[in-house]
Amino acid sequence: MQKTRAAAERFVDSYLAALLAQASQLISGEFHEVVRANGFSVSEWRVLATLAGNAPLSIGRLASISTIKQPTVTRLLDRMQAKGMVERIDSDGDRRVTLVKITAAGARMVSRLIVLARAHEQRVLEPFGLERAEELKSTLRHIIELHRTPSSEA
């Protein structure tokens, strides 16, 4: 008895979370080779890329955006601060919150990688055309916004 295509399809072949994870792993993995070849760890890249061009962020928000567990980010920030890549500052509004900002040296260090990341992104999205690529990114931003928890905003 021959199975229909729908019956033969595996759950993960059409499950959004699995598809997003696979796409992220494949695309990120390609670029992470470039990151390491340029002397950065993947975690350093994620932190610097998150901070680049942005106002200072809380450690919790930085952890959420960079998809690194908060205790790991705290340890990583210690090392990155010692290298002069980032600095911690007190929050004006809440003494319990520490903000993190990229230093001028950190911004210079990551600027070349950002250029390479944009070129990589362009190669990944080129087959889909500019309009579909922007639509995809807009949809992903909307999904993130809809599913972000209040605790990840801190």
pLDDT band for position 108 (cuts 50, 70, 90): very high
Does residue 129 lie in a domain region? Answer: yes
> What share of the chain in percent tops pLDDT 70?
92
| Rounded distance between C-alpha atoms, residue 53 and residue 1, angstroms | 59
What pLDDT is recorded for position 26? 96
- Which has the higher per-residue pLDDT, 93 or 31? 31
In a domain, 84, yes or no: yes
**How many structural domains is the chain composed of?**
1
For residue 33, being part of any structural domain is answered with no
Q: To the nearest whole number, what is the mean pLDDT of the chain?
A: 91
Assess if residue 86 is contained within a domain.
yes
SS3 23: helix
pLDDT at 66: 95
pLDDT in tens, 122-151: 999 999 999 999 999 999 999 999 998 776
Residue 54 has a pLDDT of 86
The enclosing domain of 54 has a CATH number of 1.10.10.10
Q: Assess contact for 98 and 91: CB atoms under 8 A.
A: yes
How crowded is residue 114: how many other Cβ atoms within 10 Å of its Cβ? 15
More confident residue, 150 or 60: 60
Check residue 1 and give its pLDDT.
Answer: 47
Domain that holds residue 101: 38-153
Residue 8 lies in a domain: no
With bands split at pLDDT 50, 70 and 90, how would you rate the model's confidence at 91?
confident
Establish if 74 belongs to a structural domain. yes
